[in-house]
């Protein structure tokens, strides 16, 4: 979907004037104080490092737990370390990739919801006035 004057979903009537750049206005607008209070700490370098370390620790814990629990399993394929992670990752990738052909099959053209544009020649041929 294209954006800009007349195509802005927040401006369905197309009242935006030509040359108006609403994206720059969005960036220039000050951030809500509650948003700053709740989420500004997430923009620090310390949070990024702690988040990455935390995800790594949880991932290693999951691999260790899987290894311990897989020793009790009777099936040889489920005893492989990482079996559930690899299987889940491949299943997720298949589900995401299946969205591309599904989206192509179901997607409407960008002008689907626009009113039909009548050509002046068609209106003259029909003997009607321009709308």
The 10s digit of each residue's pLDDT in 73-113 is: 667 776 777 777 788 889 999 999 999 899 888 888 888 88
Confidence bin at 55 (pLDDT 50/70/90):
very high
CA 50 to chain centre: 25
Provide the Cα torsion 93, 99, 101, 102; round to 10°. 150
pTM for this model (two decimals): 0.41
């Amino acid at each position: 979907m294209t954006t800009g004057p007349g195509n802005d979903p927040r401006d369905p009537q197309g009242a935006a004037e030509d040359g108006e750049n609403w994206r720059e206005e969005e960036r220039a607008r000050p951030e809500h104080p509650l948003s700053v209070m709740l989420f500004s700490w997430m923009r620090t370098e310390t949070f990024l490092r702690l988040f990455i370390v935390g995800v790594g620790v949880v991932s290693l814990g999951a691999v260790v737990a899987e290894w311990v629990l897989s020793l009790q399993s009777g099936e040889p394929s489920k005893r492989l370390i990482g079996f559930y992670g690899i299987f889940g990752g491949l299943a997720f990738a298949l589900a995401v990739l299946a969205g591309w052909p599904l989206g192509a099959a179901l997607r409407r053209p960008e002008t689907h919801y626009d009113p039909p544009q009548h050509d002046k020649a068609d209106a003259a041929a029909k003997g009607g006035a321009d709308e």
